[in-house]
Structure 1
């Protein structure tokens, strides 16, 4: 299978499940997770019509972003250290993984230098897994209120990574809970904060995520393959 044919297949699956859930397929965007994949794979996907790409590792991303010549939009979706924010400033339009005030403050500092704003999602560790980043559900509203005060950040929604399950149905309660938490934040009426985006779902469980309200699904393996790809 080629990247182009994989992309068509994924778009069809996303559209089918969105319609089944009574949603407009246009309300769900595919974030092509290009970590560990070469720039030429990104360009192949871009030539096939994919525009939005997500990267996890700062050093790999900055090198790759300099090589990609196709017009693409980058999101940063991985765990982010505050001392590396400077390297991605101005390169990404959204950061999915804001999980603490100190990180948000560093994003503020770096984007203020550019005199522009960065869209961010607050990452929530719903399962409380020690190996995963994210604020807790109990601390979410406090963090959102603090981040909302930073003038060069715009809180657009939430992100989560559920535990791994062989059966994608296992992840569904975590997606449902993120949707509920977004409703709680929206109801708080915090100035400047909107809950337009829910980043959840990956190759193995994105259909359940779409059914539960995902607007951004982060898919890598099903698009690019495990290791090698063909044009």
Structure 2
């Protein structure tokens, strides 16, 4: 299947999920996750109109960003080590994996030095899986209070990763839990502006995530394929 055919197929599925859940299609944004594909394929993704690019590790993304960084909006979606912040701070418009105070402070320090504002998602481990990164849901409110004074880190929403399930329907409680947590945090007015974004849903479960309120879905293999070395 060609890239254009995959894009069209994904678009149809997103449109249907929005229709089923009474949502506006324009409220759902696609991040093309290019960590398993080449520079050439990433360039083709951008040429086909997919503007948002997601990468997990700077060492894998660097050559692509050096060649294509000005052509899209780049999202850092993997676990971010504090000592790697200096490498990504001025290259990735969105950080999807803010999960600890030390990382927030390093982002603030580096962003302040460059006079930037970082858009960040709190990564929350809704499922409670030990193998997943992210803070427990009950820690999110105190975390937001603690970083409230940081002027160069703007939390715009929440992110989670659901367990891989043979049936996507089994992931629904995880996505619903993230949406409910966002709404509860907004009721407490812990941020200067309400949290509007939910980064959740991947190739195997993005339709359920959309039905539960995802505003960003992170799509790799189903959208861009996977190239073997």
Partners of 1:72 and 1:137 in 2: CA distance = 32
Once the two structures are TM-superposed, the CA of residue 62 in structure 1 deviates from its matched residue by 2.1
Residue aligning to 1:124: 124
Q: In the alignment, does 2:176 pair up with 1:213?
A: no
Q: Which residue of 2 aligns with 1:6?
A: 6
Q: TM-score, normalised by structure 1?
A: 0.95
Aligned partners of 2:62 and 2:193: how far apart in 1? 29
Which segments of 5 or more consecutive residues in structure 2 lack a partner in the other structure? none
3-state SS of paired residue (1:222): helix
Q: Which residue of 1 aligns with 2:23?
A: 23
SS of 1:32 mapped into structure 2: strand
Partner SS state of residue 164, structure 2: coil
Q: Give runs of aligned pairs for residues 44-193 of structure 1, distance below 5 A.
A: 44-68=44-68, 71-193=71-193
Task: Please give the secondary structure, in 1, of the residue aligned with 2:60.
Answer: helix
CA distance in 1, matches of 2:97, 2:73: 17
Could you tell me whether the CA contact under 8 Å between 1:155 and 1:192 is conserved in 2? Answer: no
Q: Assess if the C-alpha contact under 8 Å between 2:38 and 2:227 holds in 1.
A: no
Distance in 1, Cα, partners of 2:5 & 2:110: 39
* Offset from partner CA, 1:184-223 (integer Å, 9 cap, x none): 1101112424211100000000000000000000000001
Runs ≥4 residues deviating over 3 A: none
CA contact (8 A) 2:54 2:76 kept: yes
The whole-number CA distance in structure 2 between the counterparts of 1:69 and 1:163 is 31
**Structure 1 residues without counterparts, runs of 5 or longer:** none
Q: Partners of 2:3 and 2:86 in 1: how far apart?
A: 32
